[in-house]
Amino acid sequence: MIFDTHCHLNDEILYSHIDEVIENAKKTGVGKFLVVGYNKESSFLAVKIAEKYPECYAAIGFHPCDIFDITEQDYLDTMALSNHKKVVAIGEIGLDYHWVKEPEKKQLEKEYFIRQIEYANEHGLPISIHNRESNEDCLNILKEHKPKFGGVMHCYSGSVEMLKEVLDLGLMISLGGPVTFTNAKTPKEVAEEVPLDKLLLETDSPYLTPHPHRGEKNEPKYICLVLEEIARLKDLSKKHIEQVTYENALRLFKIDE
């Protein structure tokens, strides 16, 4: 069974026909989904989806690009969802310097990242980390505010050299569509190097569609392409990668079968 540890079934592109999306994914071996929030509305919808579908779980929180217009009440209302039995992580949280260039906005991103890490630590939850073009600041924050209950670098885009620092923090590495891209030298190197007990699979659907479907809408059903490429790179069977990554996800998110 495959666990898609980061998907956005709460995105309208997928939510508009969610039953079909889930059924198509099941046909390719996906048995569990972590539906990840990125703001108040999407976090509440992630929980609603998790309530309706037994195979779905929720992560709640604020993406770094979604913190600039929220109120304190928005934040409190959203984080209160952590008490729900199917909320298994805080995320996706982190830093994004691709879209945000202004120093004052970067500072605000850092403050919310730290605040959400500390919230996760207080409530016994792992975190799902978004890190885009912000490696140094992201690592420094994680070292100074270490996630006590673990976490995952979602769709890891860092170098092989950075990998050791991330692993030393007790974090897992999640790989998605980019590892299948024909010109993706670094993600393939990372896939070869990451220890099996630290590896997770994801789609980040509806984004980052794997090769050969780049340019199309991504869905959890395409996670089998990620699995196949990682198995090839590690020279291991697909079944072995599937089993280990599934067990890793259950362990990180404290999900009992």
Backbone angles phi, psi at 182, to 5 degrees: -65, -30
Count of CB atoms situated within 10 Å of the CB of 232: 14
Q: How far apart are CA 2 and CA 6, in angstroms?
A: 12
Give the per-residue pLDDT at 196: 98
The 10s digit of each residue's pLDDT in 165-202 is: 999 999 999 999 999 999 999 999 999 999 999 999 99
Give the per-residue pLDDT at 17: 98
Question: pLDDT under 50 in the chain at which residues?
Answer: none
Q: Specify the amino acid at residue 102.
A: E
Listed by start position, the domains of the chain span 2-252
Evaluated on CA atoms 119, 35, 222, 182, the torsion sign reads negative
DSSP state of 61: -
Give the per-residue pLDDT at 115: 98
Q: Specify the amino acid at residue 224.
A: C
Q: How far apart are CA 191 and CA 203, in angstroms?
A: 15
Give the per-residue pLDDT at 257: 74
Q: Is 72 exposed, middle or buried (0-12, 13-18, 19+ CB in 10 A)?
A: exposed
Task: Give the CA diameter of the chain.
Answer: 50
Which CATH architecture best describes the domain 2-252? Alpha-Beta Barrel (3.20)
H/E element holding 192? helix 185-193
Half-sphere exposure of 180 (CA within 13 A, CB side): 21
Q: Is 94 exposed, middle or buried (0-12, 13-18, 19+ CB in 10 A)?
A: buried
